[in-house]
Structure 1
Amino acid sequence: MLPILLRTLKRLSMLGLLGVAGLASAQPVLKVSAIPDEAPTELQRKFAPLGKYLEKETGMKVEFVPVTDYAAVVESLATGKIDMAWLGGFTYVQSKIRTNGATIPIVQRQEDAAFTSKFITADKTIKSLADLKGRTFTFGSPSSTSGHLMPRHFLLQAGIDPDKDFKTVAYSGAHDATVAFVQAGRADAGVLNASVWDKLVEQKKVDTDKVRVFAVTPPYYDYNWTVRGGLDPALRKKLTEAFLRLDPSNPEQREIMALQRTSKFITTRPENYSGIEAAARGAGLIK
Structure 2
Amino acid sequence: MITRRLVLGAVASLTLAGAAEAQDWKSKYPELVYAIIPSENASGVTDRYGPFVSYLSKELGTKVTLRIANDYAAVIEGQRSGNIHVASYGPSSYARAFTTGAKIEPFAIETNLDGTKGYHSVLWVKTASPYKKIEDLKGKNLCLVDPNSTSGNNVPRFAMSKMGIVPEQFFGKVVYAGSHENAVLGVQQGTCDAAFNWWNDESESNLLRMSRKNMVKAEDFRVIFKSEQIVNSPMAYLSDLPAELKARLKEAVLDLPKKEPEIFKKITDGKAGPWESVEHKAYEPIIELNTFVDSLRKKS
TM-score relative to the length of structure 2: 0.80
Which moves more between the two structures, 184-193 or 116-125?
116-125
Which secondary structure does the structure 2 equivalent of 1:91 belong to?
Answer: helix
Which secondary structure does the structure 2 equivalent of 1:63 belong to?
Answer: strand
Q: Distance in 1 between matches of 2:62 and 2:46?
A: 19
- Superposition deviation, residue 273 in structure 1: 1.3
Match of 1:86 in 2: 88
Which secondary structure does the structure 1 equivalent of 2:107 belong to?
Answer: strand
Q: Quick check: 1:107 aligned with 2:119?
A: no
- Sequence identity percentage: 26
- Which of 254, 257, 261 is the aligned partner of 2:265? 257
CA contact (8 A) 2:110 2:232 kept: no
Q: Quick check: 1:153 aligned with 2:141?
A: no
Which moves more between the two structures, 226-235 or 199-208?
199-208
Change (3 A) 1:232 1:38: same
CA contact (8 A) 2:125 2:194 kept: yes
The residue identity in structure 1 corresponding to 2:165 is I
- Superposition deviation, residue 179 in structure 1: 0.9
Match of 1:244 in 2: 254
Q: Quick check: 1:184 aligned with 2:189?
A: yes
Q: Distance in 1 between matches of 2:110 and 2:98?
A: 20
The residue identity in structure 2 corresponding to 1:168 is K
CA contact (8 A) 1:257 1:263 kept: no
Q: Distance in 1 between matches of 2:158 and 2:287?
A: 11
- Superposition deviation, residue 56 in structure 1: 2.0
Match of 2:124 in 1: 120
Q: Quick check: 1:275 aligned with 2:285?
A: yes
Q: Distance in 1 between matches of 2:27 and 2:91?
A: 35
Deviation digits for residues 236-258 of structure 1, max 9, x if unmatched?
Answer: 1111122222226x6x4223234
- Superposition deviation, residue 25 in structure 1: 9.6
Q: Quick check: 1:32 aligned with 2:34?
A: yes
Deviation digits for residues 89-115 of structure 1, max 9, x if unmatched?
Answer: 111111111226x21011011138211
The residue identity in structure 2 corresponding to 1:183 is Q
- Superposition deviation, residue 62 in structure 1: 0.9
Q: Distance in 2 between matches of 1:222 and 1:247?
A: 18
- Superposition deviation, residue 151 in structure 1: 1.7
Instruction: Name structure 2 gaps, 5 residues minimum.
Output: 1-25, 200-204
Deviation digits for residues 42-101 of structure 1, max 9, x if unmatched?
Answer: 11111111112112221111111222221121111111111101111111111111226x
CA contact (8 A) 1:116 1:216 kept: yes
Match of 1:284 in 2: 294
Which secondary structure does the structure 1 equivalent of 2:282 belong to?
Answer: helix
- Superposition deviation, residue 266 in structure 1: 0.8
- Which of 50, 53, 74 is the aligned partner of 2:52? 50
The residue identity in structure 2 corresponding to 1:201 is S
Match of 1:98 in 2: 100
Paired residue total: 261
Q: Distance in 2 between matches of 1:237 and 1:171?
A: 37
| Root-mean-square deviation (Å) | 2.3
The residue identity in structure 2 corresponding to 1:234 is E
- Superposition deviation, residue 161 in structure 1: 2.3
Match of 1:174 in 2: 179
- Superposition deviation, residue 214 in structure 1: 2.3
Greater share of strand: 2
- Superposition deviation, residue 222 in structure 1: 3.6
Q: Distance in 1 between matches of 2:29 and 2:248?
A: 17
Which moves more between the two structures, 86-95 or 65-74?
65-74
Q: Distance in 2 between matches of 1:43 and 1:203?
A: 13
CA contact (8 A) 2:208 2:218 kept: no
Q: Distance in 2 between matches of 1:222 and 1:271?
A: 13
Q: Distance in 2 between matches of 1:26 and 1:75?
A: 21
Change (3 A) 1:208 1:47: closer
- Superposition deviation, residue 181 in structure 1: 0.6
Q: Distance in 2 between matches of 1:214 and 1:138?
A: 14
Q: Distance in 2 between matches of 1:73 and 1:208?
A: 30
Which secondary structure does the structure 2 equivalent of 1:231 belong to?
Answer: coil
